Amino acid sequence: MPEQPRSRARETFLTILLATLAAGGFFLFFFAIMGPFVIHALVIFVLLVGFGGFHYLLWGRSMAEKTANEQEEERPALEQGEWPDDGPHGPHRY
């Protein structure tokens, strides 16, 4: 008998549910051991993640697009067998 294709939404829900339960269990365990210090550590972690996300949105995305454009410019030269210009510190010797 052929198997029914499994629902991707159900798999995703189950994964998120189990990850949430595991994270909640770890949080409660550490809260029981160390008290409110865990909340302070969690707030600091969330602030650092937020700062990293802000930094990426402000500078990281534009820098990634710029380097992608530079790579596209160098690709035809590399396909023709030409070597790209060496860096500002002189030629590379291998």
User: Are the CB atoms for 25 and 33 separated by under 8 Å?
Assistant: no
Q: Is residue 94 part of a domain?
A: no
**Residue 89: per-residue pLDDT:** 59
Residue 57 lies in a domain: yes
Could you give the number of structural domains in the chain?
1
Percent of the chain beyond pLDDT 70? Answer: 73
Is residue 85 predicted with pLDDT exceeding 60?
A: no
Domain with 42, as residue range(s), is 8-78
Please give, one letter per residue, the 3-state secondary structure of 22-79: HHHHHHHHHHHHHCCHHHHHHHHHHHHHHHHHHHHHHHHHHHHHHHHHHHHHHHHHHH
Residue 60 resides in a domain: yes
Instruction: Answer yes or no: is 20 within a domain.
Output: yes
* pLDDT bracket for residue 80 (50, 70, 90): low
As given in the structure block, the two tokens for residue 10 are 């159900």
DSSP type of residue 92? -
Stretch among 16-20, 29-33, 43-47 having the lowest mean pLDDT: 29-33
